[in-house]
Amino acid sequence: MKVNDHVDLTRVGPGTVMGKFMRQYWIPAAMSSEIEPDGAPLRLMVLGEKLIAFRDSAGRIGILDHRCPHRCASLFLGRNEQNGLRCIYHGWKFDADGNCVDMPSVPAHQDFKSKEKAKAYRTAERNVLIWVYMGDRDQLPGLPSIEANLIPDSRIWCLQRSCNWLQALEGDIDTAHVGFLHAGALTPDDLDEDHPMRPTVLNRAPEYRVTDADWGTMYGAYRPNDDGRMSWRVAHFMFPFWTQTPNIRFATRAVARAWMPMDDTHVMLFDITGGVDEGNPAYSTRKDGRPLCGGPIPYAPNTSGWFGRWCARDGEETDWGINREAQRSNLHYSGIGNVSMQDQAVTESMGPISDHEFEHLSPSDIMITRTRRRLLFAARAWRDKGVIPDGVDDPAVFFQARSGSYLHEPLADWSEAYRQQLQQAVRWPQPNGAQIAR
């Protein structure tokens, strides 16, 4: 990869190519559960900017630059009270839109609060997720129709990773690693006949079909199943930094994963899943009942720091908890038990920003090269010609993306097979909460 491509893809701060591009979209900022009315403000690092999130007494969400516009004391220290956040330095108070609503340290006849404003971003909340808009449009674009976030009882969790957003995201669109990093110790006999992971274990070198899509890029990885049908794993990249991963039942579940760049060397994963067979234990275990994923993510306790939320207990300094005996005995192929920590270890081990000039990409990386190219073209088209990024003015396009695995007749046209599967799938939102198939 050329140096300027590498820089344009990986840097996300204000004024960078990718930073300007990402700011055209609504950005996932925090889980709804992370801020309570009149609760402590939350430090957020988003695209290299230090922000404060709070929920006022009425439940409205404010996301502000953390610096008080008076003399830059951090509003993190502020008092969240009576529908506003009050700076503890001189008592100026700001509402969720950033308006200064009280200036008690200034004599009444010199008060200029109506002219003062904190730097505030527009916010939205949908189901389990808080969103922030950091672009400069007066007229807001719609929230993207990302299906997993349209399901009212979807589940969400976060995990912070200490590396550039791109290398973290690329793990999600790299099906070939699953047969090794996650499933290298499994044999077909370990899994039920209809287990979605079984074809991966039967054939660890899939072939790919890749294409651009209205929402980004998509791939289908295919390999013959042992019943004569073709196994497909279909997955997506969605602008600007979302994925849908294939390791679920296509017909009944929806997943979306945001790799929100906190800055150039830290990324926050928001993982949202929902669907009718959510949590079906049969698919997270082997035939003998032993878990596939090696238990829950070992988190470090959250702190209130800029990089304090949803960190893993292990990192480079503890070798990500690798257990050489478990590796040798094939308890886990990697020697690392938890599936998210397996991903965490390999992508953090690349370094804070992976050196893309050092890579030697292979045919199994075709989705990665396609996605990098699509991102670069779209980001530069916005910078150079003002071409509105895909999905900003047409947020419904994201609803056409659904990931998962299925078996299909061999030789069928893969995009036609995808359309058929999508038509038969259970979709959300559903009127009156009823399950419908379209």
Q: How far is the CB of 16 from Fe ion (least distance, A)?
A: 27
In this structure, are residues 300 and 292 in contact, taking their beta carbons and an 8 Å threshold? no
Q: How far is the CB of 206 from Fe ion (least distance, A)?
A: 14
Q: Which does 343 bind (CB under 5 to 8 A by kind): Fe ion, ligand FES, none?
A: Fe ion
Q: How far is the CB of 88 from ligand FES (least distance, A)?
A: 8
- Amino acid at the residue 428: W
Query: Which residues, 6 or more positions from 29, have their beta carbon under 8 angstroms from its beta carbon?
Result: 44, 46, 51, 53, 63, 123, 130, 131, 132, 260
Q: Which does 71 bind (CB under 5 to 8 A by kind): Fe ion, ligand FES, none?
A: ligand FES
The yes or no reply on residue 348 touching Fe ion (CB under 5 A) is: no
In this structure, are residues 311 and 304 in contact, taking their beta carbons and an 8 Å threshold? no
- Cα–Cα distance between 37 and 57 in angstroms, integer? 5
The yes or no reply on residue 190 touching Fe ion (CB under 5 A) is: no
- CB closer to ligand FES, 92 vs 232: 92
Nearest to 421 by CA among 184, 208, 239, 232: 232
Q: Which does 73 bind (CB under 5 to 8 A by kind): ligand FES, Fe ion, none?
A: ligand FES
- Cα–Cα distance between 108 and 40 in angstroms, integer? 29
Taking each helix axis as running N to C, give the angle between helix 366-385 and helix 3-10, from 0 to 180 degrees, rounded to the nearest 10. Answer: 80
- CB closer to ligand FES, 90 vs 373: 90
Q: Which of residues 147-166 bind Fe ion (CB under 5 A)?
A: none
Q: How far is the CB of 90 from ligand FES (least distance, A)?
A: 3
- Cα–Cα distance between 277 and 236 in angstroms, integer? 21
In this structure, are residues 30 and 2 in contact, taking their beta carbons and an 8 Å threshold? no
- CB closer to ligand FES, 92 vs 406: 92
- CB closer to ligand FES, 76 vs 131: 76
Q: How far is the CB of 342 from Fe ion (least distance, A)?
A: 6
**Which tokens in the block code for residue 262?**
């906190």
Query: Which residues, 6 or more positions from 171, have their beta carbon under 8 angstroms from its beta carbon?
Result: 177, 343, 346, 347
Minimal CB distance residue for Fe ion: 343
- CB closer to ligand FES, 105 vs 304: 105
- Residue 135, Ramachandran bin (φ over 0: left; ψ between -120 and 50: alpha; else beta): beta
Q: Single out the segment in contact with Fe ion by CB under 5 A; choices: 29-37, 79-87, 263-271, 335-343.
A: 335-343
Q: How far is the CB of 346 from Fe ion (least distance, A)?
A: 8
- CB closer to Fe ion, 339 vs 392: 339
- CB closer to Fe ion, 246 vs 391: 246
Q: Which does 422 bind (CB under 5 to 8 A by kind): ligand FES, Fe ion, none?
A: none
- CB closer to ligand FES, 73 vs 412: 73
Q: Which of residues 397-436 bind Fe ion (CB under 5 A)?
A: none
- Cα–Cα distance between 172 and 259 in angstroms, integer? 10
Nearest to 401 by CA among 155, 147, 175, 153: 147
Point out which residues bind ligand FES (CB under 6 A): 68, 70-71, 73, 87, 89-90, 92
- For Fe ion (CB under 5 A), the number of binding residues is 1
Nearest to 49 by CA among 164, 123, 124, 132: 132
In the list 65, 264, 343, 390, the residue contacting Fe ion (rule: CB under 5 A) is 343
User: How many CA atoms, within 13 angstroms, populate the side-chain half-sphere of residue 85?
Assistant: 34
Q: How far is the CB of 306 from ligand FES (least distance, A)?
A: 19
Give residues in contact with Fe ion (CB under 5 A). 343
